[in-house]
Structures are given as C-alpha cells and as structure tokens.
Amino acid sequence: MNSAEQKILVWDAPVRVFHWLMVLSFAGAYLTADSERWRLVHVSLGYTMGGLVAFRLVWGLVGSRHARFRSFVTGPAALLRYGRSLLGRQPEHFVGHNPAGAVAIVLLLLSSMVIVGSGWAIYNDAGPAWLARLHEAASTFMLVVVLIHITGVVVASLLHHENLVRAMVDGQKSGTAQQAIRWRWRPLAALMVAAVLGFWWYTWQGAPAGLVVGFTGSHVIVGAGRVPLDENVAG
C-alpha cells in the first residue's frame, strides 16, 4: 500500500451477501445431490442459486461501481498481463476483481445457469435423459472452478499482502479515496436475506404431499406430516 492508499469500501453489502449465500447454496446442494433423504433441501438450494444468479446479473448492470461487469470483465490481454505479473512476483493491483477473478465469476455464473436449468427440467420431468449427465457434469465443473478460485484467492492474498477473504466480509480493500464506493446498500442486502429465508420457509411449509423431505427416528417426513417408517415402506 503506497502513501496515497488507504482502506476503502469496495464491495457493497448485496455483493457480499450474494457471495456467501452462493457459497452456502452450492455447497449444500452439492453435498445433498445423491441423497433422496435430503431431496427437498437440494432442490431448494438449487432454486436459491437460480435466484441469486438472476440478482447478480441485474446488479452487474445497475449496481455499485466495482460490482458492475464493465468494471472487471476484460479481454484475454489483461488476463495474460496479470498472469505474468503474478509469475514475476510483482502482481498488478486491482481495487475490484482482478482479471483471474473475473474469469472465475463468469464461469461460475454460466455453470450455475446450466445447473439450475437442467436441475429444474430433471425435477419436473421436462427434458431428455441426457440432462442428468449435463447436470452432473456442470456441477463437477463448477466445483473445479470453485477450488481453483479458492487457490487463486489464497495466492493473490499472499502476493498482494491483502486478505481477500476478509474483504468479502467487511467490504474493504486498499485503494485511494476516489476509488471508494459511497453506498453500502444494506437495506437491499437485508431484503435479499429475508427473501431467501422466506423462500426456504415457504418451500418447506408448502411441500407437496408424498414428497419425502427427511427422516426422524421411526417416521418419514412426508410433506408437512409424518408417516411411520414401516407403513411408508409397506405402501
């Protein structure tokens, strides 16, 4: 950090809420993918990802300065230049997303759309059988991108001497006063959290009859009620 730089607000609250809700939703959906026991959880988290991606696409157009796509989506030349700066141990500093992070964001958004779209079709029996393979392949691809992204964040944090994980918590990074954003947009972030929690509550309360959403002891939770396990098996 040079003498003109200081800790400034870079990430608004909606960007940070989006980030951590996506982490929670993808991790939860991935871990419950092969379990009939947690099918409703898997589906709910998948739909949550879809809603979050839709929000991020809109916010990438009308959001705060560093949240907009035009501020960080660049061409391959910028990516190559940034890669060379990392290899030379003199990394080019970006107040917002660096070119490598921008590539990860685009890939994560695109793969999320494929995952959610194919998952919706599978869940509603609205597509061909190969959609299941596409859904699984896209999920695996997204996991690989996530792991590479995490590795990149660790490496960039060490080379830049800046904790990028903490920056996605408190919204602050190194920069000049002119590069800071003015508004945190906390009410919008609170509305996002409320919408997600409300959607989860509605999904569980409105679970259709006959849908197994979990187990508890000797009972199967079916919709909003419970059926003895032996009765469910016998039926």
- The full set of domains in the chain, from first to last, is 6-206 (1.20.950.20)
Confidence tier at 127 by pLDDT (50, 70, 90): confident
Instruction: Kindly tell me if the per-residue pLDDT of 213 is higher than 90.
Output: no
Scanning 89-185, the segments in alpha helix (DSSP H) are 99-123, 130-160, 164-170
pLDDT band at 173 (very low <50, low <70, confident <90, very high): very high
On the question of pLDDT at 214 being above 70, the answer is no
**Global confidence as pTM:** 0.84
Rounded Cα distance, 104 and 100, in Å:
6
Size (the chain), residues: 235
Helix, strand, coil in percent for the chain, rounding step 5: 65, 10, 25
What backbone phi and psi angles, to 5 degrees, belong to 19?
-60, -50
pLDDT in tens, 57-95: 999 999 999 999 999 998 899 999 988 888 887 778 889
Poorest-pLDDT segment among 64-68, 86-90, 135-139, 230-234: 230-234
Supply 57's token pair. Answer: 């696409």
